[in-house]
Amino acid sequence: MATFALSLKKPGVIPGFGLTMGFTLLYLALIVMIPLAGLVIKTLELSWQEFVATITDPRVVAAFEISFGISFVAALINAVFGLLVAWVLVRYDFPWRKAVDAMVDLPFALPTAVAGIALTAIYAPNGWIGQVFAKFGIEIAFTPTGIAIALVFIGLPFVVRTVEPVLRDLDPEMEEAAVCLGATRLQIFTRIILPQVTPALMAGFAMAFARALGEYGSVIFIAGNMPYKSEIVPLIIVIKLEQYDYAGATAIALVMLIASFIMLLIINLLMKWSHVRRGGGMRA
């Protein structure tokens, strides 16, 4: 494998390519590629009819709808508030700004199970926020709303962290030029700032969405896990596994895997677009 890579290598004086590349490919193959390939091979054991039957089972379809729908809503909420948080962190100075900035990363560092039980404790009918809503007869935990809250939590840093550097790098002179040309603050935001931030915003949205699709730990505690109502796709996979229905679990997993690859592709394209949009590397 190392020699194969070597033949693709362009000349350079720095040594160690064969060794490090060999190890990289070997490790990548053993840990990631072979097991993932195993999943694809496993689905091939299923006939087309079985495959279709598995993924069109009403309970599975409902789970797909819930997973995709709520992930989308959660990512949308994160896009709006993520932009707001990024804007405030970059543009304004206020007490505790540094602390708030650091806190944004918490969902990256906090184990999802902990997030799950903490959010449940807050939004359960007897929880701090849950009881306020309970008075009005609104249930949050153990409903799709609860799922949305968990997915908002785990997706929160993505939009902030993709939009923040773009906002920071915006050329203040561009805004000054616009104001000299007579634009109002709102016009500057919608016509100058937003268009330049949009690709990054969409990339952040896509990342939050992709992450939400696969999320398991934080959701299962708060979701209530009622079939057809608040069951997410990863949970269906786990249930199938517990019933030793490996083929069914694999079929659903394959669909999810394909969805995440498509998301990955979209994210990559959006990041490239973001770069171009901001005037980087596009010459005639």
Partner 1 sequence: MTDYALNIRTNHPLVESRTVRLTLIGAALFYIGIMIFLPLVIVFIEALRQGAHAYIDAITEPDALAAIKLTLLTASIAVPLNLVFGLAASWAIAKHDFRGKHLLITFIDLPFSVSPVISGLIYVLLFGSQAALGQWLDSHNIQILFAVPGIVIATIFVTFPFVAREMIPLMQEQGVEEEEAAILLGATGWQTFWRVTLPNVKWGLLYGVLLCNARAMGEFGAVSVVSGHIRGMTNTIPLHVEILYNEYNFVAAFAVASLLTVLALVTLLIKEGLERRLEKE
Partner 2 sequence: MGIRADNIYKIFRDFMALDGVSLNVGTGELVALLGPSGSGKTTLLRIIAGLEFADLGEIYIDREEASHTPVKERRVGFVFQHYALFRHMTVFENIAFGLRVRPKESRPSEGEIRKKVMRLIDLIHLSGLHNRYPAQLSGGQRQRVALARTLAVDPKVLLLDEPFGALDAKVRKELRRWLRKIHDELNITTIFVTHDQEEALELADRVVVMNNGKIEQVGSPEDVYHNPANAFVYDFLGNYNAFDGVIEENGECRVLKNGERLPAGRERVRLFARPHDMEISPQPQDKNAIPARIIHINPAGPMVSIELENEQGKLLQAAVTKERFMELGLEKRQTVYLKARDMRLFN
The binding site for partner 2 (CB under 8 A) comprises 171, 173-174, 176-184, 187, 191-192, 195-196, 277-284
Cβ distance to partner 2 smaller for residue 122 or 170: 170
Among 50, 72, 76, 87, binds partner 1 (CB under 8 A): 87
Question: Quick one: tokens of 213?
Answer: 């699709």
- Smallest separation, CB 137 to partner 1 (Å): 21
Reduced to 3 states (helix: H, G, I; strand: E, B; else coil), residue 85 is: helix
Cβ distance to partner 1 smaller for residue 71 or 284: 71
Q: Which of 187, 186, 208 is nearest to 270 (CA)?
A: 208
Return phi, psi of residue 267, to 5°: -60, -45
Are the C-beta atoms of residues 180 and 193 closer than 8 Å to each other?
no
- Smallest separation, CB 279 to partner 2 (Å): 4
- Candidate ranges 68-76, 101-109, 135-143, 276-284; the one touching partner 1 (CB under 8 A): 101-109
Residue 111 vs residues 36, 71, 114, 116, 118: alpha-carbon distances, Å: 24, 19, 5, 9, 11
Among 1, 114, 132, 194, binds partner 1 (CB under 8 A): 114
Of residues 222-261, which lie at the interface with partner 1 (CB under 8 A)?
234-235, 237-238, 241, 246, 249-250, 253, 256-257, 260-261
Reduced to 3 states (helix: H, G, I; strand: E, B; else coil), residue 257 is: helix
58-71-143-51 Cα dihedral, nearest 10 degrees: 20
Of residues 123-162, which lie at the interface with partner 1 (CB under 8 A)?
128-129, 152-153, 156
Q: Which residues lie below 8 Å from residue 81, measured CB to CB, with a gap of 6+?
A: 156, 159
Are the C-beta atoms of residues 123 and 140 closer than 8 Å to each other?
yes
Cβ distance to partner 1 smaller for residue 76 or 88: 88
Of residues 61-80, which lie at the interface with partner 1 (CB under 8 A)?
none
Of residues 180-209, which lie at the interface with partner 1 (CB under 8 A)?
185
195 binds, options partner 1, partner 2, none, Cβ within 5 to 8 A by partner type: partner 2
Cβ distance to partner 2 smaller for residue 161 or 275: 275
**Measured distance CA(183)–CA(187) in Å, rounded:** 6
- Quick one: residue 178, left, alpha or beta (phi over 0 = left, psi -120 to 50 = alpha)? alpha
Residue 81 makes contact with partner 1 by CB under 8 A: yes
Site string for partner 1, 33-52 (x = CB under 8 A): xxxx-xx--x----------
